[in-house]
Amino acid sequence: MNFVGRAAVVFGAGGGMGLTIANDLISGGADVTLADLKPRPDAIAEGPGSAAYHQGDACDEAFVRDVIAATVADNGRLDYLVNTTGVLWFDRDTSLVDIDMDVWDQVFDINLKSHALTARHAIPEMKKTGGGAMVHISSIDALRGDGKPQDAYGASKAALLRLSKSIAIQFAGDGIRSNTILPGAVLSPMQARWDGKDDVLAAVASSVPLGRIGTPQDIANACLFLLSDQASYITGTEIVVDGGVLAMP
């Protein structure tokens, strides 16, 4: 897809899905600002689009404001916002009856508040150039319960669906689109617990109708479509990228 002449910000771009999405945008000609709490990764694409990296906390409104301002200063515009920032703390995020509520608040800050802050500062800049598109990474956990729950994670990802839909309706008249992607199991740094565990990987893959675990590239493919002009009539909705898991009874 051709993104030449467009400017994007990808939060959570220090690795995994975010870095893959940013690299695909750069390869498509977009000028991309990558932001993450992690240090700058080595594997940023070399072109034809440009790349700038900012290290900081997406829950810090001052940092978010500065990243958006720097993007506009560098490129004269902002067309795309991608939010991949998120945490899944298996060791601390448990049932609502057991979870430390400070952990609950931290998860909501990272998985939801950060997305609200980035959209809050991106929308005025998108308005100036006649519109734009944003994609937020949720999860299939937003649509189901779990016998081994991470309740803060699931609830925050469900709230993100509502936030994205509200953004879509509020700013459709400004030419701004907002959609979400709901990944299933994906081999990314968030699932480091699977590293070196071939038996676990095989079991997870066998539970997926398509017979494999997803990759960051699967999510990037859906994201670039939703950002692109080919998706110009799609807003306020979500795409499930889970190999068919949610379709099962």
Q: What is the pLDDT of residue 196?
A: 64
Closest CA to 164 of 247, 83, 77, 71: 83
Question: Does residue 218 sit in helix, strand or coil?
Answer: helix
Listed in sequence order, the residues at least 6 apart from 52 whose beta carbon sits closer than 8 Å to its beta carbon are 32, 33, 34, 70, 71, 74
- Quickly state the pLDDT bin for 74 (edges 50, 70, 90): very high
What superfamily in CATH does domain 7-187+216-243 come from?
NAD(P)-binding Rossmann-like Domain (3.40.50.720)
Average pLDDT, the chain: 95
DSSP 231: G
Q: What is the Cα–Cα distance from 1 to 46, expressed in whole angstroms? A: 17
Q: Does residue 52 come out as left (phi exceeding 0), alpha (psi in the -120 to 50 range) or beta?
A: beta
Q: What is the pLDDT of residue 80?
A: 98
- Quickly state the pLDDT bin for 192 (edges 50, 70, 90): low
Q: How far is CA 11 from CA 46, 151, 245, in A?
A: 19, 23, 27
**Mean pLDDT on 87-91:** 90
- Choice among 53, 80, 153, 233 that is catalytic: 153
Using one digit for the tens of pLDDT, what is the confidence trace for 222-243? 999 999 999 999 999 999 999 9
Using one digit for the tens of pLDDT, what is the confidence trace for 109-138? 999 999 999 999 999 999 999 999 999 999
Q: What is the pLDDT of residue 101?
A: 98
Q: What is the Cα–Cα distance from 168 to 186, expressed in whole angstroms? A: 27
* Contact of 43 with 20, CB cutoff 8 Å: no
- Quickly state the pLDDT bin for 194 (edges 50, 70, 90): low
Q: What is the Cα–Cα distance from 73 to 245, expressed in whole angstroms? A: 43
The residue among 190 and 70 whose pLDDT is bigger is 70
- Quickly state the pLDDT bin for 195 (edges 50, 70, 90): low
Q: What is the Cα–Cα distance from 171 to 149, expressed in whole angstroms? A: 34
- What is this structure's pTM? 0.95
- Quickly state the pLDDT bin for 146 (edges 50, 70, 90): confident
Q: In what order do the strands lie in the sheet with 7-11?
A: 51-55, 31-36, 7-11, 80-83, 132-137, 176-183, 238-241
Question: Does residue 51 sit in helix, strand or coil?
Answer: strand
**Mean pLDDT on 82-109:** 95
Residue 233: active-site member: no
